[in-house]
């Protein structure tokens, strides 16, 4: 059974505009994801595409406007905080900013013990043991040294490790990490990603790894979902999606990744032209059409939905279905099929 599943999840915000007016922002529209136990899913997309909103909705930190969220088969959307206690214990989150997600007035020990206190682990010795164990697991060692420290005495990377330790300490079934290394200094990014991957495999924890960097997704996830303007535009096994992107947007993302292979140095790289879509006033039809190099007539009026092209590899693009009775597949993509 899937540990987490969303079905047609939509989230709408009311944003203030002017003095009295408010506009609706459709941050997420009909998003369906599924995650089995121990599986790692990467959510990739540029800033503003709705990744954080998806994370917050899955964590039940915000109300979704429609759709459902199933955790271990139980419907959670609309549940009261009282009925979420079990979910809160089994699902943990790692946030983007290690500077603000940890309480600067608490010691590292207090921070890592907090989930245990909240979830009624009354025995102080047990709490201390679990917390020290978690700190050792994230290689904040010797944990005794870190215990009495305050977050401001630690580097960004170390703080994020504290956040990971806090997420691990209850032995969760699912961890949702929202851009966990984007605010950490570049030198410790890979290390933290490897650490998370290692811990995820060791504990067989399901993992949602949110990132704007498709290259890291390649190394740290089993499956990937690419988001654009609140929609999932392509999803499938990470290796397949990245080696053979079907959606023009994914293709652009992949090609924008600098290649270490020198023979690729002069290869013409696709860049994404134009502005990212406005969430208040999104483009009609396919949200990507104003920037899409392959757009054709009809793209601006019909929003494509996800269709399975190959085993588990789905894409939402009109190129991949018969349109007007005529195939519009560009040669490169058509050829690779």
Partner 1 sequence: MDTKDILTIMLRSGSGKAGVALLLGIVIISVTVVFLFPMDFGSKRWNNPAAWADNPKSVPPFWVGLFMGNNSIAHKVFEVSPQETQANLVQNYSFHYEYNSGKSPTFTTLSFTDVTFHNRPPLLELNVVRPDGREIVLYQQVLRGARPGESSPYKRFEETPLRVFLTSETETLISLVSFLEAEFDVKTNPEALSGLVEQVVFGQPSHQGNLEFVPLNGQYDFQILSYMNHPSDSVGSLKLVLGGNSFGFMGTDSAGRDLALGLLFGFPIALIIGLTTSVFATVIGSTLGIISGFKGNKTDIIIQRFSDIWSNVPLLPILIFLIFILGQKLWIVVIIMILFGWPGLTIVVRSMVLQIRTGQLVESTKALGASNSRIMFRHILFQIAPFVLAQMIFFTPAAILAEAGLSFLGLGDPSIPTWGQILESGFRTGAVYLGYWWWIMPPGVLIVITAMAFVLIALALEPAINPKLRVEK
How many angstroms separate the Cα of 251 from the Cα of each of 48, 126, 208, 332, 336? 19, 50, 22, 11, 13
Considering the complex, what minimum distance in angstroms separates the CB of residue 265 from ligand SF4?
28
Neighbours of 90 (CB within 10 A): 17
Residues 279-308 that bind ligand ADP (CB under 6 A): 279
Q: Are 256 and 250 in contact (CB under 8 A)?
A: no
Interaction partner, residue 289 (ligand SF4, partner 1, Mg ion, none; CB < 5-8 Å by kind):
ligand SF4
Q: Residue 125 CB: number of other CB atoms within 10 A? A: 7
Q: Does residue 51 interact with ligand ADP by CB under 6 A? A: yes
Please report, for the chain, how many H helices and E strands are present, in that order. 11, 12
Residue range at the interface with ligand ADP (CB under 6 A); choices 47-55, 73-81, 103-111, 243-251: 47-55
Name 84's Cβ contacts closer than 8 Å, sequence gap at least 6.
60, 76
CA distance 164 to 98: 10
Q: Does 307 bind partner 1 (CB under 8 A)?
A: no
Q: Decide: is 254 part of the binding site for ligand SF4 (CB under 6 A).
A: no
DSSP letter string over 59-86?
TTSS--SEEEEEETTEE-TT--GGGGHH
For the bound state, the minimum distance from the C-beta of residue 64 to ligand SF4, rounded and expressed in Å, comes to 25
Which member of 52, 158, 235, 238 binds Mg ion (CB under 5 A)?
52
* Rg of the chain in Å (alpha carbons): 21
* Among the residue ranges 29-37, 81-89, 195-203, 208-216, the one whose residues contact partner 1 (CB under 8 A): 81-89
Stretch that binds partner 1, among 88-96, 210-218, 228-236, 290-298 (CB under 8 A): 88-96
Residues that bind ligand SF4 (CB under 6 A): 247-248, 286, 288-289, 292, 294-295, 299, 304, 317-319
Residues that bind partner 1 (CB under 8 A): 56, 59, 61, 84-85, 88-89, 91-93, 95-97, 99-106, 114-115, 118-119, 150, 152, 163, 166
Residues that bind ligand ADP (CB under 6 A): 13, 15, 25, 27, 45, 47-53, 279
């Amino acid at each position: 059974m899937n540990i987490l599943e969303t079905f047609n999840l939509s989230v709408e915000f009311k944003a203030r505009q002017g003095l009295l007016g408010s506009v609706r922002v459709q941050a997420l529209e009909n998003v369906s994801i599924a995650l089995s136990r121990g599986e790692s899913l990467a959510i990739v997309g540029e800033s503003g595409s709705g990744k954080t909103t998806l994370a917050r909705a899955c964590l039940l930190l915000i109300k979704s406007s429609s759709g459902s969220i199933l955790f271990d088969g139980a419907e959670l959307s609309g549940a009261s905080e009282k009925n979420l206690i079990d979910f809160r214990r089994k699902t943990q989150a790692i946030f983007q900013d290690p500077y603000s997600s940890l309480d600067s007035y608490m010691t590292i020990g207090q921070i890592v013990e907090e989930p245990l206190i909240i979830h009624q682990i009354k025995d102080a010795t047990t709490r201390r043991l679990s917390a020290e164990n978690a700190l050792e697991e994230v290689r904040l060692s010797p944990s005794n040294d870190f215990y009495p420290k305050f977050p401001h005495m630690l580097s960004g990377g170390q703080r994020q490790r504290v956040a990971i330790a806090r997420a691990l300490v209850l032995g969760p079934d699912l961890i949702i990490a929202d851009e966990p290394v984007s605010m950490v200094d570049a030198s410790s990014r890979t290390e933290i990603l490897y650490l998370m991957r290692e811990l995820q495999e060791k504990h067989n924890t399901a993992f949602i790894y949110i990132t704007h960097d498709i290259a890291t997704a390649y190394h740290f996830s089993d499956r990937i979902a690419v988001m654009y303007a609140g929609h999932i535009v392509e999803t499938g096994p990470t290796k397949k999606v990245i080696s053979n992107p079907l959606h023009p947007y994914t293709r652009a993302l992949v090609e924008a990744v600098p290649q270490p292979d020198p023979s690729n140095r002069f290869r013409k790289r696709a860049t994404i032209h134009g502005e990212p879509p406005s969430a208040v006033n999104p483009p009609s039809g396919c949200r990507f059409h104003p920037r899409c190099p392959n757009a054709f007539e009809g793209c601006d009026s019909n929003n494509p939905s996800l269709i399975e092209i190959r085993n588990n590899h789905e894409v939402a693009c009109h190129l991949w279905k018969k349109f007007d009775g005529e195939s519009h597949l560009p040669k490169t993509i058509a050829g690779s099929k």
